[in-house]
Amino acid sequence: MRIWRLFNLSLPLLALFSWADARAQNTLPDRVTLDQAVHEAVEKNLGLLAERYNLTIAEARIVTARLRPNPVLSIEGDHLDLLGTGYNKINNAGPSEYSVRTDFLWERGGKRRSRVEVAEQARAVAQLQLLNATRTLVLDVQNAFVEVLLAKATLALAQENQAAFKRTVQVNTERVRAGDLSQVELTRTKLAELQFNNAVLQAQAKLRIARQRLQFLIGRTVPSEPFDVVGELRREPLPFSLDELQQQALGRRPDYLALQRDQARSIAEVRSQIAQGKVDYTIGAEWRRQDGLAGRGNSLGIFFSVPLPVFNRNQGEIERARQEQRQIEARLRALEAEIRNQLAASWQQYDTARALLAQIEADMLKQAQQVLQTMEYSYRAGQASFVEFLDARRAFNETMQSYNEARAEYARSLFLIDSITGKEIPQ
């Protein structure tokens, strides 16, 4: 019954939280630029919010590393006459003793200093890993933004075709009434119009999916139907050579810098494990009181203990730390090679997209437009067949779609190169 009451109480609370979340999202702008989308993603992306906890966890480990061992307090009562023996001069039992003792562990070998150094290096690694997660998220947002712009261009092209064929159907209807065109030709025109209508529906669906994905990336858990993006696809040329980009990447890529910091952490870890192999001293002091038949007495004891490192000298952990250091060195070399390979591939992608875009703009766009206009005029004048007119329209569509995709690919290649080189990562 109690569980059921708690469940009934939680339902209004969940509804209240959902209402508050929806109300907060209603205050967000429906039209965002790329910079606004990136800023909102860095602030509200759910995955990145979870990654930030790694930094606070690392800071908590620094607090733990700075702590010193606690002293140990022992309180003792010995030879107590709790069983009713009755201490006397005949049985000569006892005397009862009471003692208070404290022991303190004296860490040697710089253990605390080494622990703190390892924890601070681990925090630096966590900071760079968070920055690298931000870099990956920013690239995802940029690509999603490009996909929305490409989907909008595709939809605009499909709607243009739809409007053009709607006008063609109207013209052909009048031509059929005037006896200048056969009914079969009008039917074929209407069928083509239906195909272009389907293309509009498909383009609208792709645009909705692209917008929803972008909204999820920027942290909007409840998609908004009026959501849209504002801006143009990137088009500027790269001002750097491939060698310059490689130098930039190795100097500021967060994951590469994180591995370098991790390498420093592993060196500190080796020193820490060597320090753990040093024996620690335990120093103690005790006050003892005796209540005997002949009288009472107080005494003071001082203790010193040290383990004998006969078997365990922390050999396994020292070797583990050294092997981990070698592993990080291998990972560093592998990541450097991967960065160089990524840059070479992205440079090839950029160069290909640039050449394709220039070729389409220089040769194909104007020709496709001229062919379409000529064929449309000839078809309406009865000098060209419907098949020729439809082929011209489809050729124009393919050219425009290729042009839009080339522009999007060029923009994606620029964003990819920026991401690989670690350029302008918001924090």
What the block records as the tokens of 19 is: 């209402």
| Tokens 């500190």 -> residue | 268
Per-residue pLDDT at 89 exceeds 60:
yes
Q: Which pLDDT score is estimated for 65?
A: 95
> Which range, 30-39, 173-182, 356-365, is most confident?
30-39
Domain containing residue 157: CATH number: 1.20.1600.10
Per-residue pLDDT at 63 exceeds 50:
yes
Per-residue model confidence as pLDDT tens digits over 219-278 = 998 888 899 999 999 999 888 898 999 999 999 999 999 999 999 999 999 999 999 999
Which residue type does 212 have?
Q
* Interval 410-427 mean pLDDT: 89
Q: Which pLDDT score is estimated for 17?
A: 42
Q: Which pLDDT score is estimated for 380?
A: 74
- Residue 243 located in a structural domain: yes
- Residue 375 located in a structural domain: yes
Q: What are phi and psi of 293, to 5 degrees?
A: -70, -35
Euclidean distance between CA atoms 369 and 393, whole angstroms = 9
Q: Which pLDDT score is estimated for 26?
A: 57
Q: Where are the alpha helices (DSSP H) in 67-110?
A: none
Share of the chain above pLDDT 90, in %: 62
- Residue 216 located in a structural domain: yes
Q: Which pLDDT score is estimated for 322?
A: 95
**40-54, 189-203, 206-220, 261-275: segment of lowest average pLDDT:** 189-203
Euclidean distance between CA atoms 418 and 139, whole angstroms = 9
Residue 190 structural domain:
35-68+107-277+313-420
- Residue 53 located in a structural domain: yes
Label residue 289 by pLDDT band (50, 70, 90). very high
- Residue 97 located in a structural domain: no
Number of structural domains found in the chain: 1
Q: Which pLDDT score is estimated for 185?
A: 75
Euclidean distance between CA atoms 189 and 376, whole angstroms = 13
Q: Which pLDDT score is estimated for 52?
A: 94
Euclidean distance between CA atoms 207 and 203, whole angstroms = 6
- Residue 145 located in a structural domain: yes
pTM value is 0.83
Q: Which pLDDT score is estimated for 25?
A: 53
- Residue 271 located in a structural domain: yes
Q: Look over the chain and give the mean of its residue pLDDT values, rounded to a whole number.
A: 88
Q: What are phi and psi of 91, to 5 degrees?
A: -80, -15
- Residue 29 located in a structural domain: no
What DSSP assignment string belongs to 367-412?
HHHHHHHHHHHHHHTTSS-HHHHHHHHHHHHHHHHHHHHHHHHHHH
